[in-house]
A and B are shown apart, each in its own frame.
Chain A
């Protein structure tokens, strides 16, 4: 077996982080109709075909590129007699095989007929972005093991926003955690910076929904393909993110199903796309902490929102603040966070100026709705609490909640009401800050 391994000339990270020649100006070029011969593919399509092979990861992909030069050459090699053996040999990295014969066979299969793979990418309507593209986000390009290919729906430019902050946390947050996530998301959005997260239920979704409510830009990194959006409950949120100029990103081909191993890997992209990562609530064992670990590894900043001691859903954040005190920063408050992120002096983009104030909107909805809104922001969640706090009759309080819901300012689940949209982003004492 040929050794490209330990004595090999180039280290993996070095090889792929080296910016490559830009081969095509537009990353959005749609795949052309396929006639199944690799020669007719573009290099970009060849990469997309290669990453569709389950079992071929970034390391193996990088090794193949070093050995054969281009993706097209890899596909060519795959369909030659004895090509599979050559691929497996070519995939050796630092003396170890990165994939075996079954994966080699799979590469040969898609090499012979790449049409279906490209067809599914085309029908999903996603753009293919490769490491070689100028539009590939620089922040991500510089991490260890960046994905060779990104599939993007929405605005590719959102990935390269001037400032990007990741907001992540548990899928089972407390009500307070959810509100905090929303407020942080909204505050960042108002500075014009992009918010990056994982579209998961809980903290991720709350933060990203708040950004769209503020007309801000947010990037969702999926752990599945675009065609298998997970969680399904956030299909509407995903549409809303794209509609507000954000993007949905995945390193997996559109028909890839969500697997448990995909999510930790996906987290390196969340932190990699961002200048800093903020963890709002995380229990001791949490995917959000994996994202935080990636952020530190990638040399990015990491912030933790402290929670009450004894609250299991904040235990992870608190442990990190104790154990990695020199590397992790604390979120002391939202204005403080914005200052610490260096977003204080960032000019509010023109597209966010000139909206009617939240206070004006509430006054228009009437006295009852306004007082109910204030109590919602104070954290009163059930109708019993709202009636006790406002002193309004049950019937009119219920009506007021409908009015708020119609304006996207309140939602309900399991008999509890929560502020939503801009109201969720308002500061507790009075909702007049917005």
Chain B
């Protein structure tokens, strides 16, 4: 007998509805899956067989053919397990379903438990768009599925639960099954297990604790630069010797970013869902990603057999922080070009191409020279003349063009660590950043100054007479390129926004000039 059900998979960040047709017919016993299924899906046969038997049903000794439609689309992952198993139970008439279309998403264990899969939210959303009213999902990610509008998510913990859900008449509204009684102490285990076993491994968020600005002693210039960069969404590079506090400063970023707006939050939630983070509510916290410099090209831009999103996408609407910038491989850094310019990244593989969003703010840190001690007053730096310049020169042109603020940090004198005024805490600074962002949102295209087009920048960046004179003086001093001047104006605009000033004044421009790149400053530095 033929059974037809709906399920879904994820391609990139999009859910794709898959029709699962299961035919249980006479003939030599066998189990075939057709329809461009990948290795994980082919293995579904073994999982389904075990799950059906161990859940107390019979795996019929008949000829079972599973067809996955649309036929031309590649299917990956284990999200179809539950639908296939249910199809066999329906096809062998061990279960009778209530009338109506049935949609199920979930991976099965051999014991018949239903495990979470990444990307529940976009999958549920895709089914909702097809007009489905109910979807059966793994219990642990039920809340995530429920974030999709217009569809009721029924959480199930086992294949038996799923059978119950399918037997029930649709129309009954609140059909959330109680958790299995016998689970008891293991109640939390399925979450951890599912993350570790299935789907992309859950990558750590900022692999460091979030710090408060009150912990940062001194470094007033860098603190101010960070505040400006976050207020305007500007690319930021911190250059300083080890121990000067670059990483500590980066750790304060999550506490300084304002919560995401509705549209951004939905995008961030979908990304988190596909990444396997199993969000339970809309993700309001802007993501901060800090990948290690050993990461691969595919891990940065996305891809792999399942077209998983890369770091640039995981940092969408948030911050991508690259510590030890020159240590990243050239390929990986080059790959940042497209996302930095276009806010998205295209991943092409034979036969398929996906575009991921990648509207992140770029923050990086590096040492001033290979040994890290250049400029140290003790003179311990053993790098020859010209070596530090060469080292910072490794930051390639396209990347430089995206770095609006370039901050060099000295080592803090131990005395300064003990004394001095109590530093401001993150809450105060975050308030100013949120204020400046609101000012920018209310203007023109509503984009942050770091991302507005050059054209819009000119229209929103009205200069006072002093400011325009300074701009010309600075351009004369060091032969600032058009791009250099544009970066200067972007930063000056943000400083003016922090000041709630409608026009950019001389003082704003003078301050902005402190954060330009040393390459732009070479002309002014003849006596080194």
Contacts and interface: CB of A to CB of B under 8 A. Distances in A.
Contacts of A385: 416
Most buried by B among A201, A208, A237, A395: A395
A394 B410 contact: no
B527 A398 contact: no
B204 interface: no
A23 B345 CA distance: 73
Contacts of B477: 405-406
Contacts of B473: 406
Interface stretch (A3-11, A341-349, A409-417): A409-417
B474 to A, nearest CB: 7
B379 A414 contact: no
Contacts of B239: 414-415
Interface stretch (A108-116, A119-127, A323-331, A376-384): A376-384
B385 A201 contact: yes
A201 B379 CA distance: 14
A237 B526 contact: yes
B220 A201 contact: no
B524 interface: yes
Given A232-B386, A398-B511, A413 B528 contact: yes
A240 interface: yes
Contacts of B409: 415
B455 interface: no
Interface string A387-406: 11000001110111111011
Contact of B524 (A182, A395, A405): A405
B507 interface: yes
B526 A236 contact: yes
A399 B507 contact: yes
A168 interface: no
Contacts of A413: 375, 408, 525, 528
B202 to A, nearest CB: 38
A206 interface: yes
A415 B408 contact: yes
A400 B510 CA distance: 7
A394 B224 CA distance: 8
Interface string A228-240: 0001111011001
Interface in B495-524: 495, 506-507, 510-511, 513-514, 521, 523-524
Contact of A411 (B379, B408, B420, B524): B524
Contacts of B244: 415
Contacts of A383: 220-221
Contacts, number: 118
B426 interface: no
B377 A174 contact: yes
A414 B526 contact: no
Interface residues of A, number: 47
B375 A233 contact: no
A414 B513 CA distance: 16
A175 interface: yes
A413 B281 CA distance: 47
A20 B266 CA distance: 90
A182 B239 CA distance: 27
A384 B416 contact: yes
A197 to B, nearest CB: 12
Contacts of B240: 415
Most buried by B among A201, A237, A313, A383: A383
A211 B240 CA distance: 31
A403 B510 contact: yes
Interface in B386-438: 386, 389, 407-410, 412-413, 416, 420
Interface string B49-68: 00000000000000000000
A420 interface: yes
Contacts of A226: none
Contacts of A411: 524-525, 527
Contact of B514 (A205, A208, A401, A420): A401
A384 B412 contact: yes
Given A313-B379, A384-B412, A394-B224, A406 B474 contact: yes
Contacts of A313: 379
Contacts of B413: 382
Given A405-B524, A416-B375, 7 more contacts: A232-B386, A384-B221, A398-B510, A399-B511, A402-B511, A402-B513, A414-B408
17 contacts: A201-B528, A205-B528, A232-B386, A233-B528, A237-B527, A240-B526, A313-B379, A385-B416, A395-B507, A396-B511, A398-B224, A398-B510, A408-B524, A411-B524, A411-B525, A413-B528, A416-B375
**Top 9 A-B pairs, shortest CB-CB distance:** A414-B375, A209-B527, A399-B510, A415-B410, A415-B408, A402-B510, A383-B221, A236-B526, A402-B513
